[in-house]
Amino acid sequence: MTAQPQPTPLNRRRLLTGAAAVAAVGAFGGAAIAPDVAHAVGDGFGLRVVSPPNNHGGRLHYYRFATDAIGWDPAVNVLLPDGYHTSGKRYPVLYLLHGGAQDFREFHLHQNIVNLTAGREIIVVMPDAGTGWYCNPVTTFVGPRDWEQFHMHQLLPWIDANFRTFAEYDGRAVAGFSMGGFGALKYAAKYFGHFCSVSSHSGPASLRRDGHLVVHWANLSSAAKDLGGGTVYGAPVFDQARITADNPIERIPSYYHKRVFLVAGTLQNAPVDWWDVINEGQVLAGQREFRAALSHAGIPHVGLERPGGHTFRHDMFIQDLDGMMGRLRRAG
């Protein structure tokens, strides 16, 4: 089990409010902030905030970081629940991971995440991930692209230090679409003690099937869009140990005592599209293999198949969110 982040001055600063916060900031460095500022954050855990915090309109807040883990400045949207600034409550957190050829704005701009989560007492964290498959790559020719390092060792403790969260197993869920669905399954297994709920919306769950097709897919897409010809898993020779460590189907015991939600399209009633046929067909087959392995191990899960292709289904996300809220620690 991965150790939880330890308290630091940055952790302690977030517990202070009002005049106490203004007085304390000087002790920890940085400019004093007024108590009525919507949300002030600090640097830490290898992250330096390089863009002024931008409130998109109430609940949604944007931050961009400089980090040695990534060769450019990745960003994150943090969606706060209604009443966050006045409630004094702590909240569970959902890490919501985007797909390939998308970025941290995907769920805000294209998936209506603000309305989908209205009235829910949960913080939603939506970070950049490039097309890096939520991995530290074997090779890169464009500088560092250590997305796993950025997400799990920098961003996650930074969120806990700067927002009123439950920094514990029952306080976090992870979900994603497509590449992000794979990332969610991977992170939930590799960092078992961090997430009590994991959800994959049209995300691959098996890397080795059909001649390592998903590994080839990850290598090719990351080489073209993220790594300047480098690869996530190595080429022409794969790093087999890394594949095993990341492969959900090879990590089945890591899903014990978690809520597991899976959904994939069946391609029925979908437009004739070679991308859907190749992509969602492989996703569906891998999720069926994964679900069978979970069932064989006696691990409860929700596994759904819906008509259509490779798409983020809002109705399935709402159903997923209902289940998450039932598993996560309640705000308070």
Which one from 202, 226, 310, 320 is the annotated catalytic residue? 310
Which one from 146, 246, 276, 320 is the annotated catalytic residue? 276
Q: From start to end of the chain, where are the E strands?
A: 48-49, 54-55, 60-66, 75-79, 93-97, 123-127, 172-177, 197-201, 259-265, 302-306
What is the residue type of 265? G
- 310 catalytic residue (yes or no): yes
CA 25, CA 13: separation in Å to the nearest integer? 7
**pLDDT tens track, the chain, 332 positions:** 333 333 333 333 333 333 233 233 233 233 332 333 447 899 999 999 998 777 765 899 999 999 999 999 999 999 999 999 999 999 999 999 999 999 999 999 999 999 999 999 999 999 999 999 999 999 999 999 999 999 999 999 999 999 999 999 999 999 999 999 999 999 999 999 999 999 999 999 999 999 999 999 999 999 999 999 999 999 999 999 999 999 999 999 999 999 999 999 998 877 667 777 778 999 999 999 999 999 999 999 999 999 999 999 999 999 999 999 999 999 99
Which one from 128, 178, 202, 246 is the annotated catalytic residue? 178
